[in-house]
Amino acid sequence: MPLADLTQHGAHVMTVCNACRYCEQYCPVFPAMEELRTFGKADLAYLANLCHNCGECLYACQYAPPHEFGINVPKTLAQIRVQSYQDYAWPRALGVAFTEHNLLTGIALAATFSAILALTARTLSPIDHMADFYAVVSHNVMVGVFGGVFLFAVAAMSVGVIRFLHDVRQNAQSSAWGLTRGQTPVLFRDILTLRHLHASGVDCVSAEEHRTPWRRWLHHCTFYGFLLCFASTTVAAIYDNVFGWRAPYDYASLPVLLGTMGGIGLLVGSLGLWIQRRRRDPALTDKTQHGLDESFLALLFLTTLTGFALLLLRHESVMPWLLVVHLGTVLALFVTLPYGKFVHGLYRAAALWIAR
Amino acid sequence: MGIEVLYDAEVVSIDVRDGVFRSVRLQAGDCRSVRLEPDLRGKALILASGGFESNLAWLKEAWGDAADNFIIRGTPYNTGVPLRVLLDAGAQPIGDPRACHAIAVDARAPKFDGGIVTRLDCIPLGIVLNQLGERFADEGEDLWPKRYASWGTLVARQPGQVAYCLVDAKTVNSFMPSVFPPIVANTIPELAVQLGLPADRVSDTVARFNDAVRPGAFNLEVLDDCHTRGLTPEKSHWAQRLDAPPYWGYPLKPGITFTYLGLRVDETMRVMRTDGAAMQNVHAAGEIMSGNVLRRGYIAGIGMTIGTVFGRIAGESAARAAR
């Protein structure tokens, strides 16, 4: 749908909802909507990012298809959400990535980076049993490339979220930035427990009569798995740069333990979410976003899989090949962070903050 | 509990002879393929099929040509076949065929199934004019929830079954937004023209209304003391001068929620015959038997209450009849 039409359609949907209001108990989208009378682009971006796509309101709606108003809030907000990722992307030109993602782009990027690393590697021939990663890719290259890409990703995503907050806050009722003592725990609970996927004690829907906790639990596996892996990397970076303890680390060391736990979460979570999203009622989602979702899940899965392979086979002769493939996949994941599904969590947290 | 529910199935006739129900005939399927089901036989029947609000021909019998301008707020399928069949089989009617729960809805609403979003609750905040540009009822008699179900009938009695609610900038944020945008103008005559009303008459009505407004403390929370003096009809509360542009107008039509004509029942919800005897195994619950309960007003939730209370009694009674 062209942009002007999407904004217009979103405004129409929200106008119908605002005149009805039967869904106001479901989630923060509807109370936030009730504060508004007209719905501009920034308002819609805000409401769309508040939506967790639990799907409950579609099945409750008396104006859902085949009604002539044809209201489908989860799907419309999903479309607006991706548009908002694109609009707030920095640099703006790269926002186009949000609509062009597919499984192939993610895997091809990983393959390309792996190939480049393989071509520039110091050696790919079997080395001794020391599992010396830096003999394959030098310490400086690793720190430089990954540190640089990581810092760029953080900067790009920060610009996007700040611009989103700025735009939305101009219209939102609350103008204060600060959180009161009571709001802080509620906000963090809502974000960290995905409360709005089981707001009233009922799990989010997979189909009209089908409510399951799986989507939430699998998301928790993925999210906390990602955090544990991030913690593992951070601990390893401190070991390396502060204490001078070089990788590889023992199986019983903190980085390996954190990474293993996180990795299990990521494998289970990303695979489970993949299966789960294919089983959900297609009416709830925007089918043009399959590529965006699946390429992110695939990169998470492949990063973890190659990570485990490297961990288990690091003393074997294939180690250099496994290392370049793992690093190439991680690089692809990092490069696409600001231009892929990852950003949903940032914008949603920002929207929840405004809605508090 | 072993109860089978048939979706996409419509009752086309009911075999009731001498007050005894034997079977019901169904038509099932969707618009692509409709088939007649074999007759369903039963020991007892409970009718819970409401009124006849989407039966345009029947509405016309009661209201004449005015019914052409009614909007039906709910499904187009509630045509009242069971009600008609029972009346034809000698059941005793109760309630006025013209009586209905009808609110003022936006005239731009779809003919059927516009539901809740087409209602307009700005009436107590402004003034309501008919096609001639004249006021015809006290807009400020009570707040919207209490007067909700009276404005449909009030509008239905106006020429062309249409009316126009006018508010000004002072109050545009005091009522629930409507799904249709207001018609907006900077002067009253311009607004009248846009609404298709005689501009001179509307200006005159507004001027007379403004002159009649007595000063008071506007308060939507209570029946306040803002009223008019010297008008017919007066506006008894929340009367404020229409003097702050831009002015907003909404066209109104009667929107029927449900009709009240029903079947008389005894205390066990058995349907009564015209001869005063109760039918042996035909029961009724809900709107199909509550025409007299709802005659004068309506409070939120009363329809659900009626359905629950009388449905339970009818269920018990039907179970006994089927034993």
Q: What is the ipTM metric for this complex? A: 0.83
Measure the CA–CA gap between A52 and A78, rounded to whole angstroms.
9
Pairing of β B247-259 and β B183-185: antiparallel
pLDDT in tens, B95-109: 889 888 889 999 999
Phi, then psi, of A340 in degrees rounded to 5: -145, -170
B150, HSE (Cβ side, Cα atoms, 13 Å):
16
Distance set, CA B263 to CA A78, A127, A128, B59, B94 (Å) = 49, 93, 94, 17, 5
The verdict on whether omega for the bond into residue A248 sits within 30 degrees of 0, i.e. cis, is yes
Specify the pLDDT at position B145. Answer: 63
pLDDT in tens, B153-187: 899 999 999 999 999 999 988 888 889 999 999 99
Residue A284 burial (CB < 10 Å; 0-12/13-18/19+)? buried
Specify the pLDDT at position B34. Answer: 73
B227 Cα to chain A: minimum distance (Å): 29
Tokens of B292: 């007299």
Terminal-to-terminal C-alpha distance of chain A: 31
Beta-carbon contacts of residue A295 (< 8 Å; ≥ 6 apart): A101, A102, A103, A105, A106, A107, A336, A340, A341
Angle at which helices A139-171 and A343-355 cross, to 10°: 30
Indicate yes or no: CB of A67 within 8 angstroms of CB of B113. Answer: yes
pLDDT in tens, B66-76: 999 999 999 99
With beta carbons less than 8 A apart as the criterion, state whether B271 and B264 touch.
yes
Query: Which residues on neighbouring strands pair with residue B135, listed in sequence order?
Result: B129
DSSP SS3 for B258:
strand
CA angle B288, B293, B296 (to 5 degrees): 120
Specify the pLDDT at position A200. Answer: 66
Q: What is the 3-state secondary structure (H, E, C) of A54-123?
A: CCHHHHHCCCCCCCCCCCCHHHHHHHHHHHHHHHHCCCHHHHHHHHHCCHHHHHHHHHHHHHHHHHHCCC
User: How confident is the prediction for chain A on average, in pLDDT?
Assistant: 91
By Cβ distance, the residue of B113, B173, B178 closest to A19 is B178
pLDDT in tens, B254-268: 999 999 999 999 999
Residue the block writes with tokens 């009124």: B51
Measure the CA–CA gap between B84 and B81, rounded to whole angstroms.
5
Specify the pLDDT at position B7. Answer: 85
Query: Which residues on neighbouring strands pair with residue B20, listed in sequence order?
Result: B17
Element housing A224 (H / E): helix A214-238
In the chain, the amino acid numbered B287 is E
Measure the CA–CA gap between A199 and A15, rounded to whole angstroms.
24
CA angle B246, B247, B248 (to 5 degrees): 120
Specify the pLDDT at position A177. Answer: 67
Phi, then psi, of A69 in degrees rounded to 5: -70, -25
Using a CB-CB cut-off of 8 Å, the residues of chain B touching A20 are 115-117, 179
By Cβ distance, the residue of B113, B117, B176 closest to A16 is B117
Q: Is residue B30 very low, low, confident or very high in pLDDT (cuts 50, 70, 90)?
A: confident
Beta-carbon contacts of residue B314 (< 8 Å; ≥ 6 apart): B46, B48, B268, B269, B283, B284, B285
Query: Which residues on neighbouring strands pair with residue B270, listed in sequence order?
Result: B283
Using a CB-CB cut-off of 8 Å, the residues of chain B touching A62 are 113, 115-116
pLDDT in tens, A112-149: 999 999 998 888 887 766 778 888 899 899 989 999 99
Closest CA to A90 of A2, A166, A203: A166
Which chain A residue has the Cα nearest residue B181? Answer: A15
How many helical (H) and strand (E) elements, i.e. helices and strands, does chain A have?
14, 2
Measure the CA–CA gap between A10 and A13, rounded to whole angstroms.
5
Report DSSP state, residue B277: P
pLDDT in tens, A53-73: 999 999 999 999 989 899 999
Mean pLDDT of the A174-187 span:
75
With beta carbons less than 8 A apart as the criterion, state whether B123 and B141 touch.
no
Mean pLDDT of the A327-346 span:
95
Q: Is residue A1 very low, low, confident or very high in pLDDT (cuts 50, 70, 90)?
A: low
Indicate yes or no: CB of B117 within 8 angstroms of CB of A19. Answer: yes
A52 Cα to chain B: minimum distance (Å): 25
B259 Cα to chain A: minimum distance (Å): 21
Residue from B30, B77, B179 whose CB has the most chain A CBs within 10 Å, to mutate: B179
Spell out the long-range contacts of A24-30 with Cβ–Cβ below 8 A and sequence spacing 24 or more.
A25/A200, A26/A54, A26/A56, A26/A57, A26/A60, A26/A199, A26/A200, A27/A51, A27/A52, A27/A54, A27/A56, A27/A57, A27/A196, A27/A199, A28/A196, A28/A352, A28/A355, A29/A57, A29/A73, A29/A77, A30/A57
Mean pLDDT of the B269-286 span:
96
What predicted TM-score, i.e. pTM, was given to this entire model?
0.88
Tokens of A316: 């074997």
In the chain, the amino acid numbered B135 is R
Flag whether pLDDT at A332 surpasses 70.
Answer: yes
Measure the CA–CA gap between A312 and B201, rounded to whole angstroms.
90
Residues A177, A183, A184, A188, CA torsion sign:
negative
Closest CA to A215 of A54, A342, A25: A54
Q: Is residue B8 very low, low, confident or very high in pLDDT (cuts 50, 70, 90)?
A: confident
Beta-carbon contacts of residue A296 (< 8 Å; ≥ 6 apart): A101, A106, A336, A340, A341, A342
Mean pLDDT of the A220-234 span:
96
User: How confident is the prediction for chain B on average, in pLDDT?
Assistant: 92
Q: Is residue A244 very low, low, confident or very high in pLDDT (cuts 50, 70, 90)?
A: confident
Using a CB-CB cut-off of 8 Å, the residues of chain B touching A14 are none
Q: Which residues of A190-207 are buried (b: 16+ CB within 10 A; e: fewer)?
A: bbeebbbbbbeeebbbbe
By Cβ distance, the residue of B110, B113, B179 closest to A15 is B179
Flag whether pLDDT at A17 surpasses 90.
Answer: yes
Indicate yes or no: CB of B177 within 8 angstroms of CB of A37. Answer: yes
With beta carbons less than 8 A apart as the criterion, state whether A338 and A160 touch.
yes
Closest CA to B87 of B280, B316, B285, B279: B279
Measure the CA–CA gap between B44 and B284, rounded to whole angstroms.
11
Q: Which residues of B87-123 are buried (b: 16+ CB within 10 A; e: fewer)?
A: bebbbbbbbebbbbbbbbbbbbbeebbbbbbbbbbbb
Residues of A contacting chain B (CB within 8 angstroms) = 15-16, 18-22, 37, 62-63, 67-68
Indicate yes or no: CB of A15 within 8 angstroms of CB of B116. Answer: no
pLDDT in tens, B116-164: 999 888 999 999 999 999 999 999 988 766 677 789 989 999 999 999 9
